[in-house]
Amino acid sequence: MKPVLATAFGCLLAAGLAYATPKSTPEDLMNRYFAANDVAGISASYGDWHPTARHQVTVKYGLGQPDDVFSYAVSDALTEDMNDPRMAEMMAGYEELSRMPAEITISTVDAAQIARAVTTVRYRWQGMEGDMVQTDTFRILPHFGRPAIHALDTVLDYR
């Protein structure tokens, strides 16, 4: 009888601890993403991502130049070398001078939470200084009972 009671007590304790474990909010997921600014950081926060999550990046240059748009599976960032030497060459001399705190809004569309962070970045690049507006839009849905990032759309607007 004691083993049955011990097992029942253990299951009850485990269920209580699982129930009491704080759930991540959209702000928590965003903060961990922004703190993880490299592949190692994304790897550390990989549990925040849905296994099929995609990240799309759009760079808006203005002055009649077409936008650059690329997309990748977040899981690929962990298994492939995402450092394109052409990107490093193109970004040579880019310096971020300051970054304003992000303005965060959260809304619900269907079953998804949409978390948007908009920030202005002061930069110097190829002898020019300017402001770039960065907008990160996270689509967050439950995955096995916990919120997970299903998609991230980043727009870097240099116009």
Q: What is the pLDDT of residue 75?
A: 83
Phi, psi values for residue 121, rounded to 5°: -120, 125
Q: Does residue 153 have a pLDDT over 80?
A: yes
pLDDT digits (tens, 9 = 90+) for 97-134: 999 999 999 999 988 999 999 999 999 988 889 999 99
Contact between 114 and 138 under an 8 Å Cβ cutoff? The reply is yes
> Bridge partners of 88?
none
pLDDT digits (tens, 9 = 90+) for 46-97: 788 899 999 999 999 888 899 999 898 988 876 655 566 777 787 788 899 9
For the chain, domain boundaries: 24-157
How many angstroms separate the CA atoms of 58 and 39, rounded? 19
End-to-end CA distance of the chain: 73
Within 8 A by CB and 6+ apart from 2, the residues are none
Q: Which of the following CATH numbers is that of domain 24-157: 3.40.50.300, 3.10.450.50, 1.10.10.10, 2.60.40.10?
A: 3.10.450.50
101 against 12, higher pLDDT: 101
The torsion angle over the Cα atoms of residues 135, 48, 34 and 125, rounded to 10 degrees, is -60
Contact between 109 and 131 under an 8 Å Cβ cutoff? The reply is no
- pTM for the model stands at 0.76
